[in-house]
Chains A and B, each alone.
Chain A
C-alpha cells in the first residue's frame, strides 16, 4: 500500500484533469523509449566516429611513417619528416614532474581533510580546494606566464641550481619558462582531483580497521600510516593514475609556460613541447596534407595513451570497492 501523500505529490505534478489517461496508447511509451535509447546511443556514435574519423585522417601519415613515427625524434615540417618522440618525451616528462610535485601534497591534503581536521573546517577547505579545479586552464596559463614563471626564473631556479646544479636535471640557464614550469602548472591543476578522490578513498576505509590499530596502542598518525593508507592503497593509486590521465591531455596552461621548443634535454630548466601543445600551436599553421596528417596522428597517439591510462585508473578505483575486509563481511 503506497502512502497517500506520495500519491498526492505525484498528482500535483501532473496536468489537471485525468482525461488524457483514457486516451493512452501503448505506442507512445515505445516511441519515448526509442527516443531515449537513441539519444543515449548518440555518445557511442560520437566516440565511434571520433575513432574512425581520426584514424582515417591520420592514415596518410601512418602509412608513410609506420611504426617509426613512435621513435623518430625529428619533427621537420620543411622536409616533411615527422616523429613523435620529442612530444612524447615532453608530455611524459612534464606529467612526471607534475606527479612528483602533486602527489605528496595531494596525499597530505587528503589525510588532513579526511582524518585530522574538524568536520566543519574539512568541508570548507575541501570546497575551496575544489574551486581550484574550476579555474579555466587559460587563466592559470596567464598567471603562469606573468607570475609563476618570473618567480621561477628569479628565485626558484637559481636556488635549485646553486644547491643541486651538479645534477643535469638542474643545469643550464634559468628561463623560468620550461619543463619545470610546465610540470608545476600541471601539478596545480591535478591537485584538486587527486586530493578529492584520495579523500573519498580514505573515508571509505572501515572504522573496524582504525579501531584495530588504535586498540594496539597506535598514535593517530600510526593508525593512518599503518592501517588506513595500506588499506586504501589501491584506490589511492587509482587517484594518482587518474590525475596522470588528466595531465596528459592538458593543453592551454602547459603550452603557455613550457616554451614550445621541440627538443629533448635532461634539464628541467629547458623549454620542451608536449603533444597537446604541439597540436594547439601548429595546427593552424600546417600547410601540407602530410603535415596535417602527422599532427592528427599525434592526436591519435594522445587519444590512445589517455584512454589506456584512464582505463587503468578506473579499474583500480573499482577494485578498491571490492577489497575483502576480513571477518564475516
Chain B
C-alpha cells in the first residue's frame, strides 16, 4: 500500500482555503449590489416629495422641480415599444414553437439571437438613420421604435420557450374536438402559456425601461411635456443621465431621486416576474 501522509494535511488545508475563497467571491460579488442599493435609497429618498413627481424640470440655476414629464415619457415610450415588440415577439415566438422546426425557423431563431446581441447604441444609430433623418427631428416614435426592436427578441425567446412547454396532449384534445388549428393555437395554447408569457413581457419591459443609449439620438430629451408623438420626449433614463453628468449639485440630488424611482420600478417588475415564474413552473 502506498502511503502519502505528508500531503494529506496540505490537501485538507487547500480544500478549506479554496472553499473560503469561493465564499469570499460571493461576498465580493454582492458588495456592489448592496452599495448601489444603499446609496440610491439613502441619497434619493430624501428628495422624493410630491413636487418631484408632479413638476417639470426647472431651468438651469433654479433648484427644485421634478421629473413628471420624464416618468410619463418613459411610460409612453414603453407603450410605443410594445406596439412593435409585442406583436413581433409573441406572434414570432408562436411561429417558432408551432411552425419553426424547419430551416426558416432556424434562420429566424438565429437572427433573433443576433438581434439580442446587438449593442443598444447601435440600435439607436440604426433608428436614427431610419427614422430621425427622414423625419428631420427626434421623436417619441423613433424612441419607441428603437426600444421595440430591442424588446422583440426578448419576448420572442420567452414566448417560444413557454409555448413549447404546453403539452401536446392539450393541443391534440382540442383538435380532436374539431377545433381548427388556428383557434386551438390562440385560445388553448396561448391561453395556457399566458401567465408565463406575461412574465416574460414584464422582464422585457423592465429591461427596456432602463435603457438609455438607444434613446439618446432617437427620442432625445424634452424639458417640457411633449406635444405630439413626432416630437422629442423626455425619459427617466436620459434625464437621469443628463442630471448626473451636469456640474450642478441640485441636479445630482435629483439624479439620485430619479434613480430611486427608476430602480424601484425595475426591481419590482423583476422580482414580481421571477416570483410568478418560479411558482408557476413549480421549481423547474
Contact A40 B237 (CB under 8 A): no
Contact A139 B177 (CB under 8 A): no
Q: Does A182 contact B (CB under 8 A)?
A: no
Contact B22 A116 (CB under 8 A): yes
**Interface 9-residue window, one of A28-36, A69-77, A165-173, A206-214:** A28-36
Q: Does B165 contact A (CB under 8 A)?
A: no
Q: How far is the CA of A113 from the CA of B274 in the complex (A)?
A: 19
Residues of B within 8 A of A53 (CB): 126, 129-130
1/0 contact string of B1-43 vs chain A (CB within 8 Å): 0000000000110110011011111101110110110011000
Whole-angstrom distance between the Cβ of B139 and the nearest chain A Cβ: 15
Contact A2 B173 (CB under 8 A): yes
Residues of A within 8 A of B271 (CB): 131
Known: A251-B120, A306-B118. A129 touches B11 (CB 8 A): no
Contact B36 A140 (CB under 8 A): yes
1/0 contact string of B128-145 vs chain A (CB within 8 Å): 111000000000000000
Q: How far is the CA of A67 from the CA of B36 in the complex (A)?
A: 43
Q: Does B83 contact A (CB under 8 A)?
A: no
Known: A21-B179, A284-B217. A43 touches B92 (CB 8 A): yes
Contact B180 A43 (CB under 8 A): no
Contact A284 B216 (CB under 8 A): yes
Interface residues of A in 9-47 (CB under 8 A from B): 9-11, 13-15, 18, 20-21, 24, 28-29, 31-33, 35-37, 39-44, 46-47
Residues of A within 8 A of B36 (CB): 135, 139-140, 143
Q: How far is the CA of A293 from the CA of B164 in the complex (A)?
A: 44
Q: Does A57 contact B (CB under 8 A)?
A: yes
Whole-angstrom distance between the Cβ of B242 and the nearest chain A Cβ: 10
Contact B21 A219 (CB under 8 A): no
Q: Does B176 contact A (CB under 8 A)?
A: yes
Contact B177 A302 (CB under 8 A): no
Contact A220 B25 (CB under 8 A): no
Contact A47 B115 (CB under 8 A): yes
Known: A40-B95, A139-B259, A147-B35. A134 touches B266 (CB 8 A): yes
Residues of B within 8 A of A279 (CB): 121-122, 124-125
Q: How far is the CA of A37 from the CA of B182 in the complex (A)?
A: 13
Contact A40 B240 (CB under 8 A): no
Contact B121 A29 (CB under 8 A): no
Q: Does B112 contact A (CB under 8 A)?
A: yes
Q: Does A160 contact B (CB under 8 A)?
A: no
Residues of A within 8 A of B178 (CB): 18, 21, 24
Residue of B nearest to A113 (CB): B26
Whole-angstrom distance between the Cβ of A325 and the nearest chain B Cβ: 23
Contact B180 A24 (CB under 8 A): yes
Contact A2 B211 (CB under 8 A): no
Contact A249 B120 (CB under 8 A): yes
Contact B266 A37 (CB under 8 A): no
Contact B176 A307 (CB under 8 A): no
Contact B119 A13 (CB under 8 A): no
Residues of B within 8 A of A15 (CB): 187
Q: How far is the CA of A122 from the CA of B15 in the complex (A)?
A: 19
Residues of A within 8 A of B223 (CB): none
Interface size on B, residues (CB 8 A): 103
Size band of the interface chain A makes with B: 35 or more
Residue of B nearest to A57 (CB): B129
Whole-angstrom distance between the Cβ of A39 and the nearest chain B Cβ: 4
Q: How far is the CA of A46 from the CA of B115 in the complex (A)?
A: 8
Contact A219 B11 (CB under 8 A): yes
Residues of B within 8 A of A49 (CB): 130
Residue of A nearest to B178 (CB): A21
Q: Does B169 contact A (CB under 8 A)?
A: yes
Q: Does A138 contact B (CB under 8 A)?
A: yes
Residue of B nearest to A24 (CB): B180
Contact A136 B210 (CB under 8 A): yes
Whole-angstrom distance between the Cβ of A158 and the nearest chain B Cβ: 20
Whole-angstrom distance between the Cβ of A133 and the nearest chain B Cβ: 9
Contact A302 B119 (CB under 8 A): yes
Contact B22 A13 (CB under 8 A): no
**Interface 9-residue window, one of B51-59, B65-73, B103-111:** B103-111
Residue of A nearest to B238 (CB): A138
Q: How far is the CA of A299 from the CA of B121 in the complex (A)?
A: 8
Whole-angstrom distance between the Cβ of A10 and the nearest chain B Cβ: 4
Q: Does B222 contact A (CB under 8 A)?
A: no
Q: How far is the CA of A295 from the CA of B274 in the complex (A)?
A: 39
Interface of B toward A, CB cutoff 8 Å: 11-12, 14-15, 18-19, 21-26, 28-30, 32-33, 35-36, 39-40, 87-88, 91-92, 94-96, 98-100, 104-105, 107-108, 111-115, 117-126, 128-130, 149, 152-153, 156, 167, 169-170, 172-174, 176-183, 185-188, 191-192, 206-207, 209-213, 216-217, 220, 237, 240-241, 244-245, 252, 255-256, 259, 262-263, 266-267, 270-271, 274
Interface of A toward B, CB cutoff 8 Å: 2-3, 6-7, 9-11, 13-15, 18, 20-21, 24, 28-29, 31-33, 35-37, 39-44, 46-47, 49-50, 53-54, 57, 104-109, 111-113, 116, 125, 127-132, 134-143, 145-148, 188, 191, 195, 219-222, 224-225, 245, 248-252, 256, 276, 279-280, 283-284, 295-296, 299, 302-303, 306-307, 310, 314
With A2-B169, A105-B28 given, can you name 11 additional A-B contacts, CB distance below 8 Å?
A: A9-B173, A10-B188, A13-B192, A14-B183, A50-B126, A54-B129, A134-B207, A136-B212, A137-B211, A276-B213, A284-B216
- A-B complex: 7 closest residue pairs judged by Cβ atoms: A108-B25, A249-B119, A136-B210, A40-B95, A32-B182, A39-B91, A112-B22
